[in-house]
Structure 1
Amino acid sequence: MDLSNVTWRKSKRSHAEGDACVELAAVPGAVAVRDSKNPEGGVVLIGCEAASVLSRAVKSL
């Protein structure tokens, strides 16, 4: 999947000094997730339903 034109958003829980930074991008049928400190590294694609479940779980922490 070509991700060169997607808009990446950094997690609100990320900050400049943190070591747990992620970026998210909406793509057709999924959410792309990458390490904001290594944007050229790997990307994980998570289906929309699974991303919703994951988001709710993370927000409850």
Structure 2
Amino acid sequence: MDVNTIVWRKASRSSEQADNCVEVASLLDTVAIRDSKDPDGDKILLAPDGFRRMTAAIKNL
């Protein structure tokens, strides 16, 4: 899988200054996450269920 050719979406809560932003991309059976300030950096790949659990945990912080 080449995560450099997929379409990324910026988080809806990103600010105009684009600080502290993440981008996500949906693949067949994977959700990819990256730092919008470092698009060539490391990516996190999660199964959809893992992504849902991660976002639920973050919302409960």
TM range (shorter): 0.7 to 0.9
Which protein is richer in strand relative to its size? Answer: 1
Instruction: Report the equivalent of 2:14.
Output: 14
Distance across 1 between alignment mates of 2:8 and 2:28: 14
Give the 3-state SS of the residue equivalent to 1:15 in structure 2. Answer: coil
The runs of 5 or more residues in structure 1 that have no matched partner are: none
Instruction: Report the equivalent of 1:36.
Output: 36
Does 16-25 or 45-54 show the bigger shift? 16-25
How many matched pairs?
61
The Cα of 1:39 is off from its aligned counterpart by 0.4
The runs of 5 or more residues in structure 2 that have no matched partner are: none
Distance across 1 between alignment mates of 2:43 and 2:4: 12
The Cα of 1:28 is off from its aligned counterpart by 2.1
Q: CA RMSD in A?
A: 1.7
TM-score where L is the length of structure 2:
0.79
Instruction: Report the equivalent of 2:48.
Output: 48
> What percent identity do the matched residue pairs reach?
39
Q: What stretches of structure 1 move > 6 A for 4+ residues in a row? A: none
